[in-house]
Amino acid sequence: MPHSISTNNTLEVRFKLSTQDRENKKASRTYLDINTKIPASGVTAIFGHSGSGKTSLLRCIAGLEKAEQGKVSIHKNSWQETWQDTGYFLPVHKRSIGYVFQEASLFPHLTAQKNLTYAIKRSDKAVSAEFYQRVIGVMGIESILTHYPNQLSGGERQRIAIARALLIQPRLLLMDEPLAALDHQRKQEIIPYLERLHQSFDIPIIYVSHSMDEVARLADHILVLDQGKVIAEGGLTEVFSRINLPQRLEDESGVILNGHIVEQDNEWQLIKIAFANSHIWIPDSADILSEALGKSVRIRILARDVSLSLSNHDDTSIVNRILVTVMDIKSDEDSPMSLVRLKMGKEFLVAKMTKKSVHHLELTVGIQVWAQVKSVALVR
């Protein structure tokens, strides 16, 4: 799926940040060399392993870190502002951003309510009662407002922190691994709030993460960083259907597909998810979906869960057997594994198999094969 970036809604980002720019010279080997445009709408994930420079990039955008050479300017509809350019650097407190830190940096001497008030008082435009109620509601924090930060759980603190960042009414919301400091259970508890955040407020979000799960669930657009450089960027489904990403990302390689629920099979408790020209069945494990015909969903299919055969075997436990066309095969010399890119209707799948299997099946670009999809994750 081609992802078009409207020139009207972009964040132009250009940074060169070398270790010498840092105050603490020995602290980091990370350096940044970024020159890109990020859509100023929806959720853009900055994805990469730790040390890839993703947090530095976010801090440079916010102005928390000053790259000696750099440019940040944001276009959003008719509004345009430059935050950094040659000889110009707008201080953090003058940038229209909300920032959510990794650990929920609430002010410890203020109650949750006062933490929010801190933002409300300093917002450029008055916070309407309606907006305030909406933020409180979406984040589900009404009952904990009187507490001090040390009386709250990690997840609650992070929700307050997000609400606080929203109440400053920013043009751009920056989130630096907001879930990283939470345990698995807290993560699961807070992700629905993030999804609702995404759906309820028309505010572009840049979301730094090293978790494929989070990215798959939350992002529309992705910027993949490795060693301070952009190695892939684009729409989420498009980027994940590529098979030429560096080795480091391949362990988690898999595609993300957006579709709709079109049918329910009550006898076998299955749900049919349709794409432009294809479909997939998934188990109806979550009851919430049962009355959601027509609802749009996102699924993720890992490359290692897709196997190929030359004929359609009936004698298998695999439900989803789909006729696909081989588009591309990628084999690295130093790895026994290959990635095969497949076209399923208008969507793509990626299958991971041994080089031996590729050889054995005599796979070549253009032939049709049967993809057997062993497992599908419904991400949202």
Partner 1 sequence: MMLSDADIGALWLTLRLATTVTILLLIIGTPIAWWLSKTSSPFKGPVAAIVALPLVLPPTVLGFYLLIAMGPNGFIGELTQSLGLGTLPFTFWGLVFASVIYSMPFVVQPLHNAMEAIGERPLEVAATLRATPFDRFFTIVLPLAKPGFITASILGFAHTVGEFGVILMIGGNIPDETRVVSVQVYDHVESLEYAQAHSLSALLVIFSFVVLLALYATQRKTSNVGMMK
| Residue 315 CB, nearest approach to partner 1 (Å) | 58
* Residues in 22-41 that interact with partner 1 by CB under 8 A: 23
Q: Which stretch binds partner 1 (CB under 8 A): 116-124, 133-141, 307-315, 329-337?
A: 116-124
| First-to-last C-alpha distance (Å) of the chain | 19
- Residues ≥6 apart with Cβ < 8 Å to 329: 338, 339, 340, 341, 358, 363, 364, 365
Residues in binding contact with partner 1, number by CB under 8 A: 30
Q: Residue 108 interacts with partner 1 (CB under 8 A)?
A: yes
- The least distance separating partner 1 from the CB of residue 79, rounded to whole angstroms, comes to 17
Whether residue 179 contacts residue 104, with contact meaning beta carbons closer than 8 Å, is answered with no
CB of 356 to partner 1, least distance (A): 52
Task: Say if residue 319 is exposed, middle or buried (CB neighbours under 10 Å; 0-12, 13-18, 19+).
Answer: middle
Residue 145 binds partner 1, judged by CB under 8 A = no
Query: Contact between 92 and partner 1 (CB under 8 A)?
Result: yes
Per rule CB under 8 A, is residue 122 in the interface with partner 1?
Answer: yes
Angle CA 260–263–269, to nearest 5: 115
CA distances from 338 to 57, 232, 308, 365 (A): 32, 20, 12, 14
Region from 81-89, 118-126, 247-255, 317-325 binding partner 1, contact rule CB under 8 A: 118-126
Q: Which of 172, 177, 251 lies closest to 214 in space, CA to CA? A: 177
Among 95-103, 273-281, 289-297, 301-309, the segment contacting partner 1 (CB under 8 A): 95-103
Identify which of residues 49 and 121 has a Cβ nearer to partner 1 in the complex. Answer: 121
Name the amino acid, one letter, at 228: G
Please tell me whether residue 257 binds partner 1 under the rule CB under 8 A: no
Output the six-digit token pair for 289.
């979906």
User: Could you give the string, one character per residue 6-25, with x where binding to partner 1 holds by CB under 8 A and - elsewhere?
Assistant: -----------------x--
Hey, how many other C-beta atoms are within 10 angstroms of the C-beta on 69? 13
- Per CB under 8 A, the list member of 135, 168, 299, 303 interacting with partner 1 is 168
Contact call for residues 119 and 96 (beta carbons, < 8 A):
no
Residue closer to partner 1, measured from CB, 87 or 91 = 91
Phi, psi for 156 (deg, rounded to 5): -65, -40
Among 16, 18, 37, 64, interactor with partner 1 by CB under 8 A? 64
- The DSSP call for residue 143 is G
Q: In what order do the strands lie in the sheet with 10-17?
A: 32-39, 10-17, 69-76, 79-85, 88-89
In the complex, the smallest distance separating the C-beta of residue 87 from partner 1, rounded to whole angstroms, is 21
Positions touching partner 1 (CB under 8 A) are 23, 62, 64, 91-94, 97-99, 101, 103-109, 118-119, 122-124, 149-150, 152, 157, 164-165, 168
